[in-house]
Amino acid sequence: MQDFVFQNATKVIFGKGQEQAVGTEAAAYGKKLLLHYGGGSIKESGLYDRVVQSVREQGIEIIELGGVQPNPRVSLVREGISLCREHNIDFILAVGGGSVIDSAKAIAAGVKYEGDVWDFFTGKSAVTDCLPLGVVLTIPAAGSETSNGTVITAEDGWYKRATGHPSMRPRFAILNPELTYTLPAYQTACGITDMMAHILERYFTNEKNVELTDRLCEATLKTIINNAHTVLDEPENYHARAEIMWAGTVAHNDWLSTGRVGDWGSHDIEHEISGIYDIAHGAGLAIVFPAWMTYVYKHDLNRFAQFAHRVWDVEIDLNDLEKTALKGIEKTKQFFHSIGMPVSLRQVDIGDDRIDEMAKKGTERGPLGNFVKLHEEDVQKILQLAW
Ligand code: NZQ
Ligand code: ZN
């Protein structure tokens, strides 16, 4: 196990009706907030009205910026930065999913920076400080509600890139599983896939002697797998929605990364796909992850066999670990398919004509991944397997 420092300062407020607390939580950070949200789901569900009322009751002034799209765009981030400066905003409140939260984080960092916010995503500059932000989460998926990162897409070239800093972690995150009842099945499944992928990125490590975090990863994966079909069949099953919602946060709050180095190659490859084709991040991961696993499993047959056995209950064949490992990969793919996810690029009508371009773009700044270092030709081969 490697040495580590763990600090995650986000206050999580979890449970039924907890969005009522948003006004009092926000009041600690000032008198003027930017209310940031997406394409309208929060207005349809009535959450918008409840949030506005709770905030106004504390005498806080609200400036609004809606319209965040999935795979959030840097142009709206720039608009948000201007609004914050114009109105002297103290605090940003993100109400929505990963896209809204990521857009809010980029605004929060950009307000404190004199240059263009995209500099943070190209490596030209690094985030050092952010406006404080808080979250009311409506979809368990990205884990951005307690993560220190943000992922934004630049329309110029369709680059989807990430940056991060500890000051980006939201000050509070309100998680009410009831708010997820209105999620369409497809979005629920995309979220489930994304949170599983966050665990898998951490699980496939070269670090030895990480039994505790291995087993925490396996337990979190099993909990997601056990509840996934229940939330799809019974969208208003509170207890199953609660398990999935908390798992989404645990998957990405860095608890499961302690003492180990994660991979993240599949995420980087997926960002090339959703950057260009604008598909849901979770769907992209269901396509990429089994292909990545198929490409790299021989690098550590023991780890893949352990995964197959402990997560998917595949019997270990000590004389043929490869067979065990391959069964685990097949079970992962079957599971994604069973919850309604695509498992090939063809299924989402993506041709193979831009695979070389994606591989080149994705590796512009060096090889991807850590478990196995992936160069341009490796990414090409993985995308071919995913096609
Ligand atoms: O825009 P609205 O109208 O709100 O609709 C959204 C959106 O269309 C809808 N939705 C959300 N909650 C709902 C709902 N519809 C009905 N009822 C509800 N309760 O769902 C759609 C998807 O929302 P989005 O925010 O895009 O989903 P998600 O949370 O999966 O976020 C995806 C983004 O997060 C990034 C991804 O790359 C992607 O851009 N990620 C961010 C990470 C981070 N910051 O730590 C890590 C992740 O790996 C990921 O890369
Ligand atoms: Zn993800």
Question: How far is ligand 2, taken at its centre, from the CA of residue 151, in Å?
Answer: 10
Q: Ligand 1 pocket, 267 CB below 6 A?
A: yes
Q: Ligand 1 pocket, 273 CB below 6 A?
A: no
Q: What is the pLDDT of residues 282-313, one digit of tens each?
A: 999 999 999 999 999 999 999 999 999 999 99
Shared domain check, 258 and 354: yes
Last residue of a domain, one of 178, 197, 214: 178
Question: How far is ligand 1, taken at its centre, from the CA of residue 273, in Å?
Answer: 16
Residue 62 CB: number of other CB atoms within 10 A? 15
SS3 290: helix
Shared domain check, 194 and 153: no
For tokens 């081969």, what's the residue?
A: 381
Last residue of a domain, one of 150, 178, 206: 178
For residues 225 and 187, what is the distance between their CA atoms, to the nearest angstrom?
A: 16
Shared domain check, 197 and 96: no
Shared domain check, 228 and 332: yes
Shared domain check, 328 and 197: yes
**Residue 4 maps to a domain:** no
- 58: domain CATH number is 3.40.50.1970
Q: Ligand 1 pocket, 341 CB below 6 A?
A: no
CB 238 within 8 A of CB 344: no
Of 196, 172, 191, 311, which Cα lies nearest the Cα of 251? 196
SS3 362: helix
Shared domain check, 205 and 135: no
Q: Ligand 1 pocket, 30 CB below 6 A?
A: no
Structural domain that includes position 173: 11-178
Confidence of residue 26 (pLDDT cuts 50, 70, 90): very high
The ligand that comes nearest to the alpha carbon of residue 151 is 1
Tell me which residue has its CA closest to atom 41 in ligand 1: 142
Q: What is the pLDDT of residues 249-274, one digit of tens each?
A: 999 999 999 999 999 999 999 999 99
Q: What is the pLDDT of residues 47-93, one digit of tens each?
A: 999 999 999 999 999 999 999 999 999 999 999 999 999 999 999 99
Shared domain check, 260 and 173: no
Shared domain check, 313 and 360: yes
**Residue 35 maps to a domain:** yes
Question: How far is ligand 1, taken at its centre, from the CA of residue 184, in Å?
Answer: 12
**Residue 5 maps to a domain:** no
Shared domain check, 171 and 219: no
What strands, in cross-sheet order, belong to the sheet with 61-65? Answer: 11-14, 172-175, 133-137, 91-96, 32-37, 61-65
**Residue 3 maps to a domain:** no
Q: Ligand 1 pocket, 284 CB below 6 A?
A: no
For residues 280 and 258, what is the distance between their CA atoms, to the nearest angstrom?
A: 28
Q: Tell me which of 103, 139, 150 to substitute to probe ligand 1's pocket, judged by most ligand atoms within 8 Å of the beta carbon.
A: 139
Q: Ligand 1 pocket, 102 CB below 6 A?
A: yes
Instruction: State pTM to two decimals.
Output: 0.98
- 310: domain CATH number is 1.20.1090.10
Shared domain check, 146 and 259: no
Partners of 374 in beta bridges: 368
Split into its structural domains, the chain has a count of 2
**Residue 172 maps to a domain:** yes
Residue 49 tokens, joined: 């009205």
In this prediction, residues 190-198 reach a mean pLDDT of 98
Last residue of a domain, one of 155, 178, 201: 178
φ, ψ for residue 133 (rounded to 5)? -135, 155
Q: What is the DSSP string of 214-238?
A: HHHHHHHHHHHHHHHHHHHH-TT-H
The ligand that comes nearest to the alpha carbon of residue 142 is 1
**Residue 336 maps to a domain:** yes
Question: How far is ligand 1, taken at its centre, from the CA of residue 1, in Å?
Answer: 33
For residues 150 and 80, what is the distance between their CA atoms, to the nearest angstrom?
A: 15
CB 189 within 8 A of CB 341: yes
Q: Which residue type, as a one-letter code, is found at position 193? A: T
Residue 152 CB: number of other CB atoms within 10 A? 24
Note the pLDDT of residue 110.
98
The ligand that comes nearest to the alpha carbon of residue 274 is 1
Of 90, 84, 110, which Cα lies nearest the Cα of 165? 110
Shared domain check, 40 and 20: yes
**Residue 2 maps to a domain:** no
Q: Ligand 1 pocket, 202 CB below 6 A?
A: no
**Residue 138 maps to a domain:** yes
Of 9, 8, 160, which Cα lies nearest the Cα of 74? 160
Confidence of residue 207 (pLDDT cuts 50, 70, 90): very high
Give first-to-last CA distance, the chain, whole Å: 37
Shared domain check, 170 and 192: no
Q: Ligand 1 pocket, 251 CB below 6 A?
A: no
CB 285 within 8 A of CB 194: yes
